Amino acid sequence: MARLTEKEQQEVMRFIEAGKPPPDKYRFLLFDDKREVELVWNGKTNEVTNVVLPFQTIEQVDEPRAEKPEDTAAQQDLFALDSRGRQLQGWTNKLIWGDNKLILSSLKNGPLREEIERQGGVKLIYIDPPFDVGADFSIEIEIGDEIFTKKRNILEEIAYRDTWGQGVDSFITMIYERLSIMRDLLADDGSIYVHCDYRVNAIVRLAMDDIFGKERFINQIEWAYKTGGIPERFGFSKKHHHILFYSRGENPVFNQLRQKSYVPTLPEPHTSSGQRLGVRRDKFCELCVNGSPGQKYRMVIARDIWDNISSIFRNDPQITGYNTQKPEELLNRIIAASSNEGDLVADFFVGSGTTSAVAEKLGRKWIVADLGKFAIHTTRKRMIGVQRELKSTGRNYRAFEILNLGKYERQHYVGVNPNLREDQRQQ
């Protein structure tokens, strides 16, 4: 603590006796870990929960293999199977139902941690927390010409209150504690990508600097897309999200990706059939297609502006009915860059299961979690589809298990019929 002069000490005492907070300058004089710039909000604490709750396996999912136990030789070698064709050894992927604060704390401090470390630790975390103030728990489902809205259930209601009950203050309290535990769970060479929009981007960035350290900041990726709203009266259309990329340590796993960088070219002389007229062959030049000159490009290190991945559109083959679903191509890029085959990838706000679907297709192991019943139902169904797809093309896939931390029952998520209204679904 800095030494206060006698005058300063008397001033502080006068404020304390009057029941008033001392002037702000004393915050910097009184505390040793004073920082010139810091993130403070009502309710900030560095304490994180250490609670460990037991995980219960409520279902083991390995449907395609169970249907045909005499699988390919490669699969047999990789995973030992029981008499029903289920994987017996090696890592089993995990879809966990519950509040991610308790899940994170139980993973970090409980017995599963050892198993995670045996796999090399968590190499990559991607999260897309709810920033659409409340909209994430309600889902719009189109049936015929009608749109049904699924309302929040009681657990989601509580999570919504905890996340947005006091506006951005409660959002930052929610995310700060979870990010702190995620940092502790990451491997030394692991990385984290946090997806957010303009509403919480600034505050999440400050929280990340606080937790991971400014020096661990790697990129702020801008994902620009074309869909979405238009401004009502003034302003420009908001057409991008931010993805904050930080590493846990100094040497994160990273595979340099490349992209085409187009350079402006003048049309080159060519005949109407596309034949070039004495044009120099340039190794960067694409061939003339249908008489129009190709554009020149160079292969460069991939940039932090991602403007060639479209958001999920109506009739998109990827569509699951989850209205905050992100495109697989986005996760493809992140997972390919920041993990290798066999690495463990996690997402604790998984929604429709995009992270697990892409991780599985890229041969990564995964742990994902969500609080919502519909999210668990959607991810389960999607992952069975991915298992089937991989099997049909002769590729390896892993079994996954569904775990919970509360008193959720299998029939509650397997039986979610999206064609029913919420009151009908609760019956």
Ligand X SMILES: C[S@@+](CC[C@H](N)C(=O)[O-])C[C@H]1O[C@@H](n2cnc3c(N)ncnc32)[C@H](O)[C@@H]1O
Quick check: 324 binds ligand X (CB under 6 A)?
yes
Residue 282: what are its φ and ψ, rounded to 5°? Answer: -110, 130
Question: Are 182 and 151 in contact, with CB atoms under 8 Å apart?
Answer: no
- In the complex, minimum distance from the CB of residue 131 to ligand X, in angstroms, rounded to a whole number: 7
How many residues sit close enough to ligand X to count as binding (CB under 6 A)?
20
Quick check: 173 binds ligand X (CB under 6 A)?
no
**Residue 423 Cα to chain centre, angstroms:** 30
d(C-alpha 156, C-alpha 148), whole Å: 18
Q: Which of 62, 136, 189, 360 binds ligand X (CB under 6 A)?
A: 136
Task: Extract the tokens encoding 375.
Answer: 């999210």
- In the complex, minimum distance from the CB of residue 328 to ligand X, in angstroms, rounded to a whole number: 9
Quick check: 370 binds ligand X (CB under 6 A)?
yes
User: Could you tell me how many helices (H) and strands (E) the chain has, helices first?
Assistant: 14, 14
Q: Helix, strand, or coil here: 97?
A: strand
The DSSP 8-state label assigned to residue 418 in this structure reads T
> Which among 146-154, 248-256, 262-270, 363-371 is the span making contact with ligand X, rule CB under 6 A?
363-371
CA distances to 99, 100, 121, 171, 326 from 105, in Å: 10, 8, 15, 19, 26
> Which among 53-61, 109-117, 303-311, 370-378 is the span making contact with ligand X, rule CB under 6 A?
370-378
Among residues 220, 223, 226, the alpha carbon closest in space to that of 240 is found at: 223
Residue with smaller CB distance to ligand X, 66 or 336: 336
Residue with smaller CB distance to ligand X, 193 or 349: 349
Residue 370's CB: how many other CB atoms inside 10 A? 26
Q: Which of 192, 359, 371, 399 binds ligand X (CB under 6 A)?
A: 371
Quick check: 152 binds ligand X (CB under 6 A)?
no
Residue with smaller CB distance to ligand X, 159 or 187: 159
> Which among 3-11, 181-189, 369-377, 417-425 is the span making contact with ligand X, rule CB under 6 A?
369-377
Residue with smaller CB distance to ligand X, 349 or 397: 349
- Cα atoms in the 13 Å half-sphere on the side-chain side of 142: 9
> Which among 29-37, 67-75, 112-120, 324-332 is the span making contact with ligand X, rule CB under 6 A?
324-332
- In the complex, minimum distance from the CB of residue 316 to ligand X, in angstroms, rounded to a whole number: 12
413-418 LR contacts (CB < 8 Å, sep 24+): 413/97, 413/373, 413/376, 413/377, 413/380, 414/59, 414/377, 414/380, 416/373, 416/374, 416/377, 418/141, 418/150, 418/321, 418/374
Residue 415's CB: how many other CB atoms inside 10 A? 12
- Cα atoms in the 13 Å half-sphere on the side-chain side of 156: 22
Q: Which of 64, 85, 372, 418 binds ligand X (CB under 6 A)?
A: 372
Residue with smaller CB distance to ligand X, 116 or 194: 194
Residue with smaller CB distance to ligand X, 352 or 387: 352
Residue with smaller CB distance to ligand X, 139 or 187: 139
Quick check: 194 binds ligand X (CB under 6 A)?
no
Q: Which residues would be at the binding site for ligand X (CB under 6 A)?
A: 99-100, 128, 130, 136-137, 159, 322, 324-326, 349, 351-352, 354, 369-372, 375
